[in-house]
Amino acid sequence: MNPAYAQAKARFARIAALGEAQAMLGWDASAMMPPGGGAARGEQLATLAGLAHELLTAPALTADLAEARAADPWDSANLALMRRAQARALALPTALVEASARANSACEKVWRGAKAAGDFAAVSPFLTEVVRLQRETAEALAAASGLSPYDALMEGYQRGVTAAEVEPVFTAYEAFLREALPQVEERQARAPAALPLPGPFPVAQQRALCRSLSQRMGLDYDHARLDESLHPFCGGTPTDIRITTHYDPADPAKALLGVLHETGHALYERGLPEPWARQPVGEAAGMAAHESQSLIIEMQACRSDSFLRFLGPQLQASFGGPAAPYAPENLGRLWRHVSRGFIRVNADEITYPAHIILRFRLERALIGGDLSVADLPGAWNEGFARLLGVTPPTDAEGCLQDIHWHDGAFGYFPSYTLGAMAAAQLMKAARIALPGLEADLAAGNMAPLVGWLRHNLHGQGNRLGFQDLLRHATGKPLDPGDFTEHLRARYLS
């Protein structure tokens, strides 16, 4: 191995270890930390972010990368990703990186209370500071990369995808939604009403079922934990996965489907190529790729008719009551019900992209300076009404509902719908490659699907960009038509 490249690999391993420490502190802040620890935790995260940035921009690493050579395809991809990571870091002063980390941490803590109270005014000055720093970050990255400021932020979550590519995909989906949503609503109105699941749903039993089903998906609890947080997420590291959910004693679906979703993320992390751990090429291929893995498990597989035939008896064994509410047809009516709701995380798969389209357009306007934070609630409500024909009654059900902006994540939201579209495309390819897949799902056997994903996607790490990863797995780049085909088949046929 070229000595300079070997030294660069060692330096990136240290940077990755700092990132892992940040990830664990972030998990702890959401799942375990007492409220009084917020200020200190913000300083800890800012310090780690600053140290990682200093290592990434160090002249010694610059010298190594200038001399490094790699011939193997994986090493060549790794070296290219190293150079990309340093170029982005060099565009940003350490002081800006630390200031952003502090502002994000402070805003996120205030957001928790503001969301509970529906009080946008309480968080507005903190969010204003976050947006100011994100604009400064975006402009610096844009100057270094030649991208637009918003595209430069998107590049941090899913490389190689720009707003110019996303906009026509979203515009086309709007047209589909205008046509299909009334048809689905009319079809639902003619169908029998769904039977509610009989309670009670003790949290202890929900927790046991969530753990059991995530293990059946393939999650190894020697390398994972399941905990609770206000907002479900998957964090940690590939060998120390931390997933969280939120239990509602009145509705087991929230926790269960949340855990299945986060298990998809966890399986991706656990399936990354171990020989490339703590190297850029060994990371996930971006957030759209990550969302495709959570959604192929939760939406494509676990909400399918086949899997619901398996899941119904599992639910009945856990919570008791008559069999009729647990029938797959009834579970489908309950868990695939389409409605014009206000909350993104509760949205069905037809209306969910509308939530993302709204956020995509608003955050582009915020970063571009065309929308002020003070005007965000009104712009949110107007945009939501245009897309779905209803207006959120409170800011808690509107612009306060998500953690992302308050934690500094701008450019992330498009990944959700790109991931949903990719999940449909991947599932279509998996069904062709695995003729017995429906029978496996009906038996609760997820191993063939996960094995196919391990080979075609997880094991590829970050070697390929989003479009090339889809080409590798399915033979073509992103095809939004596979998603609308899936929706028509599930909801209109």
Residue type, 47: T
- Does the active-site annotation cover 262? yes
> Which structure tokens are listed for 300?
């494509």
> Which structure tokens are listed for 399?
């612009």
> Which structure tokens are listed for 322?
């008559």
Active-site residue (options: 98, 108, 129, 262): 262
| Whole-angstrom distance, CA of residue 453 vs CA of residue 61 | 35
Q: Sheet harboring 234-237: ordered strands across?
A: 224-228, 240-245, 234-237
- By annotation, the residues acting in catalysis are 262
